[in-house]
A and B are shown apart, each in its own frame.
Chain A
Amino acid sequence: MSTLQGVLSFFVDPRFILLCFAGAVAGLFVGSIPGLSVSMATALLVSITYTWSTNDALATVMGVYVVGVFSGALSAILINIPGAPSSVVTTLDGYPLSKRGESFKALKYATVYSFIGSVFGLIVMGLLAQPITKIALKFQPMDYFLLALFGLTTVGSLTTKSFSKGLISALIGIFLALIGLDSVVGTPRLTFGIQNLKAGIAVVPALVGLFGFAEVLTVISTGASDGEVSKINKEVIKLGTILKEFWHSIYYCVIGTLVGALPGAGGPVAAFLSYSEAKRIVKKPSRPFGEGAVEGIVASESANNACIGGALIPMLTLAIPGDAVTAIILPCFTFTVCSPGRRF
């Protein structure tokens, strides 16, 4: 009871709220601009907040982290370039909706279900951190391999028309991931003698290139360079209508939290798995998946935001970060009174 009171006391602390808000604004900026990653922003912020008190530092860093993950959906929906890797799946239905002039609707669904996902993940983190960590610890290399394989097969099913083309795109993704130093022998692989490729290809530049440059090529090749700016029409969408997908979103949140709790897996995997599940369980989507189905946005955004809570679970209970951002946040805890690990 006293713990709950302690948590609730932060909600009435103006300083805490202000720092959270400042972090959220920074996260909104960083997340929505393709090329600026949340991990980069938190890395910069951790160095700034190094001398701050634990509560102040965490309020700001978590504001950046949570809102940064959400705001990746903004550019994904509006310009078809995901602001964060976990928003890749949101582009599949978000951008088609935006092209139809329904970007406001897409943004509203993304905002509501990102909020639900974040809250769900953080509640689960508070209540079930210990049992989920025990499950995550039982994962062996073979289980990770199977999870990755499962994720790759879902990539194939994401392309609505051709499974083979989906698999080819997955193979291209693996090819790009193989570039760099081999993790076993340590020799350069597929670098073709180029020094800069030895470090591999980072996810964020690859995403910006693949989505942004592809968009430029499409516009150029089809001769539609006159510019197609979709207006944001503020249509009234009742909250009841949006929340029709609530129970499905809880299912996606469960997937997101569990995947987030696995070190190494993260938002993109969770979003892909949830999207694949959405295609299976939603029998009558508002539009076909890939052509502007809000159910696709719900699946992606619920899962990738629920990942935040999930990723914090192994970090807090075992001091093992669930993803890149929690790895950067870890020092915030390590040098404070609430050191993560078995004594947490």
Chain B
Amino acid sequence: MHEYLKNKSVQDSIVALALGIALGVYSLYSYQSAVVRTDWIMSPYLFPLLLATFAVAIAFSLFMEGRFEVVSAREKEGKTDVSVARMDVKKLLCVIGLGIAYVILINFITFIPASVLYLAAMIWLLGERRIWMVAAISVGMPLLLYVLFAVLLNVRLP
């Protein structure tokens, strides 16, 4: 990997640049394909486009910051600033996947069953292996929330 790409600011700048470009393209496409076309000044996609422009500019600024960090680290110690922490990427992706699955599941099997499944999976992933503990927390918490919100406060659950 190129030494610049190991720097966290450079990595962040690439993500910001990608998001900025994606938002800009989406805004322009949405404006062009709108059923009711208005002037840009009245368009709902004016602010997203401005946001995308700023994001690209700031991404460039962040890239320069990262480049400066790399150069100054190289001059000081003869090596680059590698500030990327070691991550358990598999677990991280599992948690994100579980979160997405939970949101989708709520629409199909409603809040309580989806929460039971999600909590059980998360607690298992976090390292708890006692079945009774996993069951107690994953069933008890949604029930508590149900009683508190739906029964006592009359707040509609998803």
Contacts and interface: CB of A to CB of B under 8 A. Distances in A.
Partners in one complex: yes
Interface of A: 40, 44, 162, 164-165, 167-168, 171, 174-175, 178, 182, 184-185, 187, 189-190, 213, 216-217, 219-223, 225-226
Given A175-B48, A213-B99, A220-B126, 11 more contacts: A162-B62, A164-B9, A168-B55, A171-B55, A174-B47, A187-B44, A217-B92, A221-B87, A221-B88, A222-B85, A222-B87
Interface string B112-134: 00000000001001110000000
Q: Which of A44, A162, A168, A184 has the most CB of B within 10 A?
A: A168
Q: Which 8 A-B pairs have the closest CB atoms?
A: A182-B44, A164-B62, A189-B44, A221-B87, A164-B61, A221-B92, A220-B91, A225-B126
B127 A226 contact: yes
A185 B38 contact: yes
Contacts of B125: 220
Contacts of B153: 44
A189 B87 contact: no
B36 interface: yes
Nearest to B61: A164
Contacts of A171: 51, 54-55, 58
23 contacts: A44-B153, A162-B9, A162-B62, A164-B61, A164-B62, A165-B62, A167-B54, A168-B58, A171-B55, A171-B58, A174-B47, A175-B48, A178-B47, A185-B42, A185-B43, A185-B44, A216-B95, A219-B126, A220-B125, A221-B87, A222-B86, A222-B88, A225-B127
B111 interface: no
Interface in B7-26: 9, 12-13, 16, 23, 26
A162 B58 contact: no
A16 B87 CA distance: 55
Nearest to B38: A185
A165 B12 contact: yes
B31 to A, nearest CB: 11
Nearest to B27: A190
Nearest to A179: B48
B17 to A, nearest CB: 10
Contacts of B62: 162, 164-165, 168
Contacts, number: 78
A31 B150 CA distance: 19
Contacts of A174: 47, 51
Interface of B: 9, 12-13, 16, 23, 26, 34, 36, 38, 42-45, 47-48, 51, 54-55, 58-59, 61-62, 65, 85-89, 91-92, 95-96, 99, 122, 125-127, 153, 155
Contact of B34 (A165, A175, A187): A187
Nearest to A223: B88
B127 A189 contact: no
A187 B34 CA distance: 10
B84 to A, nearest CB: 11
Q: Which of B59, B61, B85, B155 has the most CB of A within 10 A?
A: B61
A159 to B, nearest CB: 12
B158 to A, nearest CB: 10
A249 to B, nearest CB: 33
Contact of A187 (B13, B26, B36, B92): B36
A162 B63 CA distance: 12
A227 B79 CA distance: 35
A39 B62 CA distance: 38
Contacts of B85: 221-222
Contact of A175 (B23, B44, B126): B23
B150 to A, nearest CB: 13
Contacts of A168: 12, 16, 55, 58-59, 62
Contacts of A190: 26, 48
A149 to B, nearest CB: 12
A167 B58 contact: yes
A218 B34 CA distance: 40
B90 to A, nearest CB: 10
B92 A220 contact: yes
Contacts of B51: 171, 174-175, 178
Contacts of B55: 168, 171
A222 B84 CA distance: 11
Q: Which of B38, B59, B62 has the most CB of A within 10 A?
A: B62
